[in-house]
């Protein structure tokens, strides 16, 4: 089952939600898919993206992607096709913070129209 999910993820251009997975594997149980994603996330295979749509998306980590602050990329949510894409080439620039603020995580979500829909 996990192999099937991994295979499915490899074929995706966009990040997938639990619902997407469920639709693709209608024979499998929602819970199993959920736990599969959680396991993948723990092992560092995928990272989760809260794109503000209410449902968390998951995408495969790139080679050497530690999903750590120093290796963060931008996520783009298209309002037309409702897909969320990783933009590994768009790095998050350094942000000036007030004194004594320590960053552990950064999440940058852009919303608009993607290349396919414009």
18 lies in the binding site for a second copy (CB under 8 A): no
Residue 106 contact partner, candidates a second copy, DNA, none, CB within 5 to 8 A by sort of partner: a second copy
Please state the closest distance from residue 72 (CB atom) to a second copy, in A.
10
- 42 counts as binding a second copy under rule CB under 8 A: no
Q: Is there binding between residue 11 and a second copy (CB under 8 A)? A: no
Query: Within a 13 Å sphere around the CA of 41, how many CA atoms are in the beta-carbon half?
Result: 13
Which residues have C-beta within 8 Å of that of residue 88, sequence separation ≥ 6?
62, 65, 73
Q: Is 88 exposed, middle or buried (CB count within 10 Å of its CB: 0-12, 13-18, 19+)?
A: middle
**Binding letters toward a second copy, positions 91-110, x by CB under 8 A:** -xx-xxxxxxxxxxxxxxxx
Kindly state the smallest distance separating residue 32's Cβ from DNA, in Å. Answer: 3
User: 104: how many CB neighbours lie within 10 A of its CB?
Assistant: 6
- Beta carbon of residue 2, minimum distance to a second copy (angstroms, whole number): 26
Pairing of strands 84-91, 73-78: antiparallel
Residue (19 or 91) nearer to DNA, CB: 19
SS3 96: coil
**Terminal-to-terminal C-alpha distance of the chain:** 36
Q: Which of positions 47-66 make contact with a second copy (CB under 8 A)?
A: 50, 52
Residues at the contact surface with DNA, assessed by CB under 7 A = 1-2, 17-19, 27-32, 34-36, 38-39, 54-56
């Amino acid at each position: 089952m996990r192999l099937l999910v991994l295979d499915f993820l490899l074929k995706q251009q966009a990040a997938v939600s639990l619902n997407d997975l469920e639709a693709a594997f209608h024979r499998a149980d929602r819970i199993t898919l959920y736990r599969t994603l959680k396991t993948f996330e723990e092992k560092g295979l995928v990272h989760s993206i809260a794109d503000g749509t209410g449902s968390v998306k998951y995408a495969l980590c790139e080679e050497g992607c530690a999903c750590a602050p120093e290796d963060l990329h931008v996520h783009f949510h298209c309002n037309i096709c409702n897909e969320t894409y990783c933009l590994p080439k768009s790095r998050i620039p350094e942000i000036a913070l007030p004194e004594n603020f320590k960053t552990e995580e950064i999440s940058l979500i852009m919303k608009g129209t993607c290349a396919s829909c414009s």
